[in-house]
């Protein structure tokens, strides 16, 4: 379901945005909706990646190395 919102913008900004939207064959409303959708998508993707990275760090990685005691390492 779509819902309208109201925002206040500087008149010069609106004029410049109209020119950009016209060049793209779009409207200011469509441009803003697309930009907000992209911002939300990027934020969600970042959060998923952050959660996965933390989970990977907590899990750790098995590099196949053998554990050697300090004494065995420094035997002479």
Model confidence over 21-51: pLDDT tens digits?
999 999 999 999 999 999 999 999 999 999 9
Q: Using CA atoms, how far apart are residues 45 and 53, in angstroms rounded to an integer?
A: 12
pTM value surpassing 0.85: no
Q: Using CA atoms, how far apart are residues 63 and 42, in angstroms rounded to an integer?
A: 32
Q: Are 31 and 21 in contact (CB under 8 A)?
A: yes
Question: For the chain, what percent of residues have pLDDT higher than 90?
Answer: 76
Give me the pLDDT at residue 76, please.
62
Which sequence spans correspond to the domains of the chain?
32-60
Give kind and range of the element (H or E) at residue 66.
none
């Amino acid at each position: 379901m779509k819902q309208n919102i109201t925002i206040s913008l500087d008149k010069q900004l609106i004029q410049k945005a109209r020119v950009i939207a016209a060049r793209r064959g779009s409207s200011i409303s469509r441009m803003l909706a697309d930009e907000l959708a992209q911002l939300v998508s990027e934020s969600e993707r970042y959060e998923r990646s952050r959660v996965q990275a933390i989970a990977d760090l907590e899990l750790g990685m098995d590099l196949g190395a053998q554990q050697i005691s300090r004494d065995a390492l420094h035997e002479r």
